Structures are given as structure tokens and as C-alpha cells.
Amino acid sequence: MKVAYMTNGWGQVMAHCGAANNANSAYYVSTGPDAEAIGAIASAGYEQIEIFDGNLLAYEGRETEFRDLLARNKVSLLAVYCAANFIYDEILDEELFRIKKAAAFAKKFGATELALGGGATRFDGIREGDYAKLASALDKTAALAGDLGLRASYHPHLGSLVQSPQQLDKLMPLTTIPLCPDTGHVAAGGGDPVAVAKKYADRIKYIHLKDITKEGMFCPLGKGTIDFPAIIEALKGKDVLYAIECDAYAGDPGEAAKTTFNYLKTTLRFA
């Protein structure tokens, strides 16, 4: 199935241990074994994966090992996920350095998409000028990704500068970067994923499909509250790539991948 599945459903989502000291080491990491995650994703029927920058860069100097892992499971790498503060001028070059490093490494394995989270919230609250800073940084990041042959898209995230639909509407006119909405985060941030898909359909090139229960817990597709058929309809006729996320799920991640695969085939009619 030409829908990617994110490996972060295995283990916990954490920051790389170097993040506390160095902005250029602030990678995302999921703690579950990559081989277990990729094997389960392949067994569920998926042919593509997305992976955190920290998990991917762990294979520096071990490129053959990662290629063999992909080949053994007959999957390809579609995307790498990175995040940054983006609003602090002094460390922006450090952040762009590590994003470029991750993007260049992902390109070695055939990735075409760079998903970008972030936009920091300050200890004393958001400053209105932070949206312009974020927008400028995102445009710079999209340009460096493009130079490497990847397409960057912005992924609004809970706890970031762009969490609510009102915050998203402030940002999007200030930047030209495509939008990668995460349907679960949009809903948890107080938005309507269907409305976001309709409003920004022309800006969406890559999207994370994630379901969420009425209690606010992430879950396999079809087990929560989100109207995915309406989202797919809103993007009908657009050249959009899809990825699935089911992190922070209390159940078995392999079973979640299978449940979602069945939903994609039987309800959303993905081939």
C-alpha cells in the first residue's frame, strides 16, 4: 500500500540526549527498536515508512545496515520528521544545520518528504512577532530541503507555536511552505481536521492521518472521532501523499498498524 506508516508508534517519543546541551543535536527519537517497528509495519501491509531524524541518523556509518533493513522488509523510506524552535535568532543556524544533515541523510535512502514540526512557545507567552520569525525560518528550511531534492512541509503540533486553528491561520499567509496537517493534533488543538483540509487543500502535499478518541487519546484509524472519508474527499484530485501516525497509543502498535491498514482498504479504499 502506497501509504507510509510512522515508526514512532513503537516505544516512547523522546528528545535525543544531546538536546540539553546542543541545539544542533536536538533530534527526535522513538525508543522502540527500528527493526521491530519496520518489520511490524511491513507485516501489516505497508510499503513505505516515515522515521524520526534521530532514529535515522543513528545509522550514520552504518548505511548498509539500514538499507538492508529496508530491503529485507520490502519497504522504502518516504519521509523524515524533524522539529526545531525556529524563533530564536542565535540558534537558528544550529537548527538549520541539523535539519539539513537529517534531510541529506534521508535523501541517500530515497526519501522525498521532510516533515517539520516546531515553533517554540516562550516561557512568558507567545509574542506576535514569533509568527513572522517562524515563517521566515520555514521558508529557509524549505529552500535548503529543495536544494537537496526533498519537499518540506510544516506539521502543526500540540505544544508548539501553531497548535490552534487560529494560530495556523496567522502563520500560513506569512510563508510559502506546504502544509502537512496532522489530523489528530489538529483535533486535539481545538480545530476541525475536515475544515483545515478544505481550507488548505491547495497547500497540502503531504498529510499525517491520525485518529483520536473523544477522551483525547490517539488510536488506530477508524477507532476515534475523525471523519477521514470527508478529509479524503476534500483532497480528492490533489496530488497528496499520505502517512499514518499512531504514537502514544496504549495498545499493541503492531495490531494498531493492522487495524489501520484494514480501515484504509475497506473504508477509505486505498489500494
pLDDT tens digits for range 137-194:
999 999 999 999 999 999 999 999 999 999 999 999 999 999 999 999 999 999 999 9
Over its C-alpha atoms, the chain yields an Rg (Å, rounded) of 17
What would the mean pLDDT of 209-232 be, rounded to a whole number? Answer: 97
pTM of the model: 0.97
Mean per-residue pLDDT, 39-51 = 98
Predicted local distance difference test score (pLDDT) of residue 2: 87
The domain limits of the chain are: 4-266
pLDDT score of 271: 64
pLDDT average, residue stretch 227-252: 96
Give just the sign of the alpha carbon dihedral 137, 139, 142, 146: negative
pLDDT digits (tens, 9 = 90+) for 51-86: 999 999 999 999 999 999 999 999 999 999 999 999
H or E element at residue 94: helix 89-108
Nearest CA to 218 among 186, 195, 250, 194?
250
Helices (H) and strands (E) in the chain, counts: 10, 11
Question: Could you tell me the pLDDT band of residue 221, with boundaries at 50, 70 and 90?
Answer: very high
Closest CA to 66 of 55, 82, 80, 52: 55
Say what the pLDDT of residue 138 is: 98
CATH architecture of 4-266: Alpha-Beta Barrel (3.20)
Q: What is the mean pLDDT of residues 95-100?
A: 98
Strand ranges inside the chain, DSSP E: 4-6, 13-15, 28-30, 48-52, 76-84, 113-118, 151-154, 206-209, 211-212, 218-219, 241-244
